[in-house]
């Protein structure tokens, strides 16, 4: 059985690989190991996600698509979700989510009688659809509340945009200065490798500019 783990976080500041250990433990508990990981920082409301598309391209019939929760796979509008689900079904992938126990049957190499298997598959498919719809509704509600909060702050003259996480930036710079690599720094700081590289590069530019100013 070939298990493909898909891990996603919405922004570059978040650690997309956060659930990697939990997925690995789950696979081992079911007698398997994760064969391939697809990790990216992309919104679940976007259909065009490079790593997800790569997973679909790599997949073969009977492979397992292992995720932490359905919302890691999709916060898509209904039409886009149906297209993604059709692509998953066309590949013969089995969706297994840690927060959906009915999906755990997908981790079994041997199946029971045909009637039971088909019933469980139908129930699981229905629950996946339901959870995908809930994930989309949650996304829309949070966006709406955020927009309302911004409008209120603007009306009251309090809106200053999204502030940088200075504590996290400081922590990243300290870890890099201590000699840690990009991946180790991201793991300890709780952010993505992309964020670490951006902070590292901005620090190098700032240091270079400061040196030039002092030399003139």
Tell me: the pLDDT tens digits for 104-157?
988 987 555 676 677 777 888 888 998 888 888 888 888 888 888 878 877 877
DSSP for 1-63 reads --EEEEEEESSTTS-TTTTHHHHHHHHHHTT----EEEEEE--TT-S--HHHHHHHHH--TT-
Q: Residues 97, 134: contact at Cβ < 8 Å?
A: no
* Structure confidence by residue, pLDDT tens digits, 76-119: 999 999 999 999 999 999 999 998 998 998 898 755 567 667 77
| Catalytic-labelled residue, pool 10, 20, 36, 203 | 10
The first and second tokens of residue 75, run together, are 């916060």
Instruction: Domain 3-137: state its class.
Output: alpha beta
Active site residue 86: no
> In whole angstroms, what is the distance from residue 149 CA to residue 39 CA?
31
CA atoms of 185 and 188, how far apart (whole Å): 5
- Mean of the per-residue pLDDT values for the chain? 85
Q: Which residues pair with 54 in a beta bridge?
A: none
Do 51 and 81 contact (CB within 8 A), yes or no? no
pTM exceeding the 0.75 threshold for the entire prediction: no
Residue 162 backbone phi and psi in degrees, to 5: -80, 115
Two tokens at 21? 């250990």
Task: Report domain extents, the chain.
Answer: 3-137, 166-215
Q: Which fold has domain 166-215?
A: Arc Repressor Mutant, subunit A (1.10.10)
Summarize the chain as % helix, strand, coil (round to 5). 60, 10, 30
């Amino acid at each position: 059985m070939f298990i493909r783990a898909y891990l996603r976080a919405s922004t570059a500041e978040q650690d997309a690989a956060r659930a990697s250990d939990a997925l690995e433990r789950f696979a081992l508990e079911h007698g398997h190991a994760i064969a391939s990981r697809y990790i990216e920082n992309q919104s679940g409301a976007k259909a065009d996600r490079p790593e997800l598309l790569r997973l679909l391209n790599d997949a073969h019939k009977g492979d397992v698509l292992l995720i932490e929760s359905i919302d890691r796979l999709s916060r898509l509008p209904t039409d886009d979700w149906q297209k993604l689900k059709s692509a998953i079904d066309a590949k013969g992938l089995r969706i297994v989510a840690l927060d959906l126990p009915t999906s755990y049957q997908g981790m079994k190499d041997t199946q029971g009688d045909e009637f039971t298997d088909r019933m469980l598959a139908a129930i699981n498919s229905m629950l996946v659809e339901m959870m995908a719809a809930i994930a989309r509704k949650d996304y829309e509600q949070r966006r709406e509340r955020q927009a309302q909060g911004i409008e209120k702050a603007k009306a009251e003259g309090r809106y200053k945009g999204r502030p940088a996480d200075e504590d996290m930036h400081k922590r990243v710079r300290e870890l890099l200065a201590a000699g840690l690599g990009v991946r180790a720094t991201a793991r300890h700081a709780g952010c993505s490798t992309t964020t670490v590289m951006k902070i590292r590069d901005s620090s190098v530019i700032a240091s270079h500019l400061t040196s030039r100013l002092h030399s003139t």
